[in-house]
Structures are given as structure tokens and as C-alpha cells.
A and B are shown apart, each in its own frame.
Chain A
Amino acid sequence: MTWHVDAELLQEYERGSLTPSRVMAVDAHVQACAACRAAVPADTARLDRTWLAVADTIVTGRPGRAEWLLRRAGLPEHRVRLLAATPALRWSYLAATAAVLALAVAAAYTGQSAARTTLVLFLVFAPVLPVLAVATAYGPPADSMHEITSATPMAGPSLVLWRATAVVGPAMGMEMIAAVASPGPGWWAVAWLLPAFLLCVGTLALATVLPLARAAGLLGGTWLLVALAAGSSAPLVQGVLFGPAAQAGYLVAVIAAIVVLTLRRRHLNPGENR
């Protein structure tokens, strides 16, 4: 190199007061000349941050549609990561969704054959089954990373309930459409879905003020106690616990739980303990 950038030019270069053509000329020289490059002070912290951001953009790529929708719905980014991973866990998701759908279909057929007692028992216990189905679906047979997951602090009821919500939510939407198109008992086939969804979302909402295990026990226990107490009378179960007025109440409660969860989401500890 036969010439070097003089001190005055270098200062202007650092200040960013050079014209674009002169910047390009100095850039070209600095890239080729180690001595001049060394004379330019570098903000390594800023460089690291910039490089990390560039690498991150390249690596992360664009979010998928499900991820984008969940973000738009206001879910925290880390929750979106967990839920958006759900469709990628194909077999787990399919197994859990299939279990939910099978239960609904079973209810429809049971209702058609007028097996009232079976229907009552089914309706009482069905709302707690999706959570169990999800817990099973994400266990060793279906989730290849179960062993790793189980050794993380987020393993436990919180993860199960979030995944249950992810599975029951879309399944409920599908079943609503299926019930309208189905002959026979109609909406009885999906009568249990709204309480099931309420149990999932309600437990999470309650977990913003109580330890999660206590919230789950409180809501689930209350449901079973009330449902079993009413279970002695089929008309009572069908008319009161799953009747139109009750369903409207569940819907209001679901909306309330979602509002509470949204407003108090920062209070929800990601781990299983508070």
C-alpha cells in the first residue's frame, strides 16, 4: 500500500460527514489496508449485536402462518414457540385431536341409541379427558423428545394445559361445524367441548393468582363434584349442566378466563411451580 487515509479524512469518515462517493473510496481502502483499518475505532459491542441480529434474521426466517396468527392474537412469543411447535409434532397432535373427535362421535352415536345413562356419564367425564389425552399424546409413545422435555423446568401441568388448549381449541372449532352438518342429536355431540375448553383456559387463568397445581385441582375437582352430584339424574345433567343456558354460561366464562389470562399473562409462571 503506497498511501494511507490521512487523520483529517479519517475523522470525517468516522463522523459520517463524507459524501457517499468518498465514503466508498475510504471503505475500499480500509478493507484492503490493515493499518488504516486499525486506525478506525470499532464499537465491538455494537458489531456483535448487529451480527447477532443478522444471523438471527437468516436463521430464524419468517414465522409460519400459525405462529403469525398466534402472535397477532396477543400470545407471548415464548408461548407461541411452544404452541407453534405443536403441528410439527404431527403424531402427537393427530393422536390428541383424533381422541377428541372420537369422543365427540361416540357421544353422537350414544345419543342416537338413546343410551341416556351412558351419555350422562360420558358428558360428566368427557371435559377432563382432553387434558389426559394430551398428557398421553405427549408422552413417550408419541413425543420422541419426551425424555428431554421431562427434565426441563417447564415440564408438568403447565405444559400439558397449554398443549391441551392448543389441541382442544381447533378440535372444538371443527366439531362445531361437524355437529351442524350431522344428523341425530345435533349439538349434544359437542356439549362437553365448551366445559372442556373452559377447564383448560380457566385453570390457566386461575394459575395467575394460585399455584398451577392448586388451580387445576380446584377447578377440576369442583367440576367433578358438581357433575357427579347432578349425575344421579339424567335430565338434570342434560338439562342443567349441559343445557343451552349452561352452555351460554360456559361461553361467557371462557371469554372471561381468556380476558383474565390476557391481562394477567405476566403473572403466569412458565414453570410448574410459582
Chain B
Amino acid sequence: MTTVRVGELHKRFGATVALDGLDLEIGVGVTGLLGPNGAGKTTLLRCLATALAPDHGRIEAYGLDPADSRQRTALRRRLGYLPQSPGLYPNFSAAALLGYVAVLKEIVDPRMRRAEVHRALEEVGLSDRANVKVRKLSGGMRQRLGVAQALLGHPDLIILDEPTVGLDPEQRMFFRTLISRLGETRTVLLSTHQTEDAGALCERVVVLREGRAVFDGAPRALAQLAEGQVWRSAGPPEGRTMYWRTAEGDYRTLGPQPPDGVAVPPSIEDGYLKLLGPAPAAGTIR
């Protein structure tokens, strides 16, 4: 079921076009936004989170139009948002910070608010850090706290801008579990540079480039874009193409078959690079 619709969305920052007539429909589940820096991922998420107004175009989420102030407020009651730089106040304790955001989310009854704060802390595994100041939390824990504030009030639409950036594998695994659980019943839209996260988490992947969607489909379909173009070889390929030396000492090539190349199954990263990577003439990735 479609819960979020975006039509002909435009946004410029001076001479820079961030969104260039973007069309998108999103439903319940986890949808991943991929794309290079400056592709428009954060701008799209900010527009959907009602933190930024688009120049032109339509947004409709759960039947609500954020261009109308009443509907915008109604939409804000149904969304949770983790920005790229959450800027959590360092001198607040984890529980106090969530309590503060809970007030901003109109959870005004003290008992309900406390229960909600405890629930959110528990959901992200920070119950034992409730009284710890934000500045004393590790980067991963701060990121968890950022997600916890987004989960306050049981939002239907959860928008997460690079939630796994800078996290160690253990923390990333924790986030994968959490986000996939959220996606069972809610609309989760996340941006990431980690193609393996997108592959592991998202039922659907949208790749943005220069403010437009250049791919929209399942992660497997993204990987298939590089089908028959990924090779392993003992030596480096000739000519200019994308290749790198693997930990095993052989070479993985994306592009034309090297002389001794053996075809290997493509990953999502291969598909992504094939879609957006530089043309062979542009240089070699080592």
C-alpha cells in the first residue's frame, strides 16, 4: 500500500539543483535511498520530514499535504525523523533529552511521557544509559539515541538520514535488526552510503543522481545491472576499467572481461557502481 507520494518535486539552493522533478511512491516497509554526495537524498528526506519546503511539486504522506499548515502539523504527529546531524544537546542525559523531544511531540502527560521515554530507550538498548549525559555516550550510542527520539510517539513514517554512518559492524547489525523490525508495520525511508546495508535491510532501493531517481527496484535487481560484467582474474585487466585487488590477491573487475577473467555473481555495490560509476575512460578505481 502506498503511504507516501512525491510528484514533480523541485528544490534549488542558489544555482545548485538538489531535486529535479523527482517522482516517487513509497509504501510500508524499508526503502533505501542510495546515491553519491549531492544527489539529493538529504534534501528529499528533509522535504518529507517537513523540515524544508520544496520549491515546486507535491508531497502527500498518509493522505496529508505538508504544504497546508494544519495538515503539516497532523503529518508531524505521525512522523519520526533522524537528520544527518541530529545535534543532540550534549549536556542533557539520554532520558532528559528524550523527555524534551517527547514534549515537542505533544506527549504532555508526564506519566505517558516517562513510559514512552523508557520504551524508546529499551527499544534501542539504552535503558542502562538513561541517566548518562549525551556527551559521555559513544558515537554508536548517540546514534541509537537519535533513533530513539525518532521512535517517540510510535510514528507511522520513519525517516532516517544515514543512520549507520560511522558505526562498527556490531552496532550496524543492531541497527539492521531494529530497522527491519520497524519496517514490518511502518514506512521506513533511510538514506545510506552502505550498499551492503541497503541489500540486507531494504525491500526496495531508489538510487538518486542529480536530483532524479535513476533506479527504483529490489536490491537484487540493482545487483543484476552488473550481471555478466563482474570478473575475477589473476592479474589486473588491461586498459582503463574499474578494478581492485582483493584480500586474496586476485583482481575483481567491473566491466569488460579480462583475458583470464572468471565471471562472479554481482553484488549490489557492483550494480550501483555500474549504474553510477565513472565511465572507463574517466579513470581506474584502485
Contacts and interface: CB of A to CB of B under 8 A. Distances in A.
Contact of A144 (B76, B88, B105): B88
A221 interface: no
Contacts of A81: 99-100, 103
Contacts of A270: 106, 108
Nearest to A88: B91
A95 to B, nearest CB: 16
A145 B73 CA distance: 18
A150 interface: yes
Given A52-B114, A52-B115, A52-B118, A146 B87 contact: yes
A153 B88 contact: no
B91 A154 contact: no
Contact of A151 (B51, B70, B108): B51
Contact of A272 (B73, B99, B108, B149): B73
B101 A150 contact: no
A148 B86 contact: yes
A153 B106 contact: yes
Nearest to B109: A78
A56 interface: yes
B104 A147 contact: no
Interface string B209-247: 000000000000000000000000000000000000000
Interface residues of A, number: 35
Contact of A147 (B87, B99, B106, B131): B87
A89 B86 contact: no
Contacts of A85: 89, 92, 100
Contacts of A145: 86-89
B171 interface: no
A186 interface: no
B70 A273 contact: yes
Given A59-B131, A156-B69, 19 more contacts: A52-B115, A52-B118, A59-B95, A60-B114, A77-B110, A82-B103, A89-B89, A143-B87, A144-B87, A148-B86, A148-B149, A150-B50, A151-B79, A152-B101, A153-B73, A156-B73, A159-B104, A270-B106, A273-B69
Interface of B: 46, 49-51, 69-70, 73-74, 76-77, 79, 81-83, 85-89, 91-93, 95-96, 99-101, 103-106, 108, 110, 113-115, 118, 130-131, 149
